[in-house]
Amino acid sequence: MLCAALLVSAVAGCKREEPASTPAASGAPAATTPTDVPAVAPTALKDVIETTDRYVIGISYPPSANQYPGLAKALGDYSAAARAELMEAVEAFGNDKPTAPYELSLTFEQVVNTPQIVAIAADGSRYTGGAHGQPLIARFVWLPEQQKRLTAAALVPGEAGWKAISDYAREQLHTAVVLRVDEDELPPADRAELIKSSARMIDDGTEPEATNFSEFVPVLDTAGRITALRFVFPPYQVGPYADGTQTVDVPAAVLLPHVAPEYAGLFAR
């Protein structure tokens, strides 16, 4: 069984995920090929559809994913790992089979495509029994001119930066919880308990460390510069499963003082 569609939050800074803006190609210079980046063997990504009485697998990629071999390899490795975990669960049955087929559903979607930045969103689920599937959420930000993946740890190398990002994200997430609770018109005692438990999950899931903000995509202006980073939090990280995937857009003004100098030029000022 696959994850159901999720409701959209009422707070602009903290919401269910939407695709990041993708501007038209600007007049920026064409990407160059650096000489110090090792070549990556091409990985031909192809959609996968497999159906048996024991498992079902569906994986889809955007056609553009094969344009960059390093990015294609990263996507392929992620798919392979997700598939391996599914097959391990299937094989644990031996000659038997699950009461319902186990499932892997995974979709890769291109959400940003400029000469300087390409971003792919991976969303799906893996079902190996139980009430619902395990969410699969990943984001891949590729820098074509440098032929490498941009990671959160490389983008913001200092502790002060993650403290600033954490503080901003927490404020947005806490506000979203209060608004949702107020809409439900709960009794005062229930309201206070729900806000308290939600706050605990938010604070634990947004500790000021790069690992808690590893999934992100850039939000761009019409010139292709980054105006914000949309950090993605899968179910259970900052809220219960029912709250779904949540996002917070952290503006460039918060980020720029802490961004590594080599990436500062990607941001709007």
Q: Do β-strands 216-220 and 148-149 pair in parallel, antiparallel, or remain unpaired? A: unpaired
Instruction: Show me where the domains of the chain are located.
Output: 22-150, 153-266
- Using an 8 Å Cβ cutoff, are 235 and 1 in contact? no
| 100-156 pLDDT tens trace | 999 999 999 999 999 999 999 999 999 999 888 999 999 999 999 999 999 999 999
pTM above 0.75, yes or no: yes
- Please tell me which residue, 33 or 99, carries the higher pLDDT value: 99
**To which H or E segment does residue 76 belong?**
helix 69-91
pLDDT at 34: 44
The torsion angle over the Cα atoms of residues 222, 228, 234 and 238, rounded to 10 degrees, is -150
The pLDDT tens digits of the residues spanning 204-213 come to: 999 999 999 9
Backbone angles phi, psi at 195, to 5 degrees: -65, -40
pLDDT at 1: 43
Q: How many CB atoms lie within 10 A of CB 42?
A: 12
Let me know: does 2 contact 103? Beta carbons within 8 Å. Answer: yes
Return all residues near 88 (Cβ < 8 A) that are at least 6 apart.
Answer: none
Check whether domain 22-150 has CATH 3.30.565.40, yes or no: yes
What pLDDT sits at residue 153? 98
**Domain 153-266 belongs in CATH node 3.90.640:** yes
